[in-house]
Amino acid sequence: MLRDRDAYETENRTGYVRAVSGPVVIAENMGGSAMYELVQVGSFRLVGEIIRLEGDNATIQVYEETDGLTVGDPVYCTGKPLSLELGPGIMSEIFDGIQRPLDTIYQMVENVFIPRGVQVKALND
């Protein structure tokens, strides 16, 4: 039963943006987080990774455009490391740096620029 509670607490931990400088975000209330943990930042749930922990604060490298992020925006903890999915489709696709298939995104948005917060499955089932 303890594991279920720990998983619930990890999935529901939320910190808050304290500062933004380019692709780097400082977040507070991040106690219990781990180095290299995958986080989602702001209302667009931008993909980021914790690269430094100091007490209750975390330094996060965000892998998407951070324009519009403001102090107080939520930072959602996942309890998981940044990882990628492996399978038969990986050899026939072209991905961006966080394993989003570029062809699928283009079909969705019909633009060569990837909008912030786009979430698509890496591989088809």
Q: What would the pLDDT profile of 83-125 be if each residue is shown by its tens digit? A: 888 888 778 888 888 888 888 888 888 887 888 888 888 877 6
Is residue 10's pLDDT more than 50?
A: no
Q: What would the pLDDT profile of 26-62 be if each residue is shown by its tens digit? A: 999 999 999 999 999 999 999 999 999 999 999 999 9
Gap between the Cα atoms of 104 and 106, Å rounded: 5
N-term to C-term CA, the chain: 32
Sorted by where each begins, the domain ranges of the chain are 2-81, 84-125
Is residue 76's pLDDT more than 80?
A: yes
Q: From 3.40.50.720, 3.40.50.620, 3.30.450.20, 2.40.30.20, which CATH number describes the 2-81 domain?
A: 2.40.30.20
pLDDT value, residue 100: 85
Is residue 9's pLDDT more than 90?
A: no
- Single pTM value for the model: 0.76
Tell which residue, 47, 43, 59, has the closest CA to residue 84.
47
